[in-house]
Amino acid sequence: MPKLSVALVQQDTAWHDPRTNLARAREAAAQAASGGAQVVAFCELFTTGFTMSPEPFAEPIPGPTTDAMAKVVKELGVWIVASGVEWHAPLPRNAAFAIRPDGTLAATYRKIHPFSFGDENRHYSGGDDCPVFELDGVRAGLQICYDLRFPETFRRLSQRGAELVFVPANWPARRATHWLTLLAARAIENQMIVCGINRVGHDPTVEYPGLSAIHDARGEALSRGDGRPGLVLATVDLDDLRAWRQEFPALKDRRPEVYATL
């Protein structure tokens, strides 16, 4: 696999307004595709904002939102990565999904770590798996926002062969330093490309800084956004990633049989 052009959409999400956000998403995807992007990724809960009233927006996956985005990808010929409220009993789930250019669903990931500090665990059920999918010859995975604080799930993706991980987020401005540090750390320790997609603007209680970023397998930021809406673009080099893993094969020195006894 040579190179992959990725666009992260830094949006100012219209609160509880899926129709407006879907229209904006189509415009952003078209802009990204016109610039040569092969993958267009959106932030966490991109049609609603980080709502603690998920029930009115809950829907199956596949369902209306993925169907709407499937029309976009078939028109533009790009991959889409995004996150929405998935119907589930007894509580909905915060789910990320990837859609192929032919409009079919490649993967769905349910956020394993609901954000208890913000009461997300009272309104959403947590997931229990880390799927890996093929994205144009690249092994890719999904995580969501607060998952970034838990190295275990990223390591599991690495063990399953993931080379590229997307992290849709609604990460607040007051913890922006944590966001930047953890994105780089997850990339470095797993020798993988990590794409963090964060929103900008405000919801009723929180300010968001943007700072979406694409980190290579050495942890270097290939591209990083500021606090304004727009696209964060980079071309990732998979040959370079694979060469780095061979040149500096740190993961082979892991000792899980010892870790289990500590």
Catalytically annotated residues: 44, 111, 145
Strands 200-202 and 207-209: antiparallel
Extract the runs of DSSP E, i.e. beta strands, from 32-122: 39-41, 79-86, 93-99, 105-110
Q: State both tokens at 99.
A: 């859609």
What is each CA distance from 134 to 140, 141, 158, in whole angstroms? 6, 9, 14
* Main-chain phi, psi angles of 13, to 5 degrees: -65, 130
| Dihedral angle over CA of 48, 175, 144, 26, nearest 10 | 40
Spatial distance between the Cα atoms of 137 and 15, rounded to a whole number of angstroms: 36
Q: How far is CA 255 from CA 121, 151, 252, 258, in A?
A: 33, 16, 8, 5
Bridging pattern class, strands 132-135 and 138-142: antiparallel
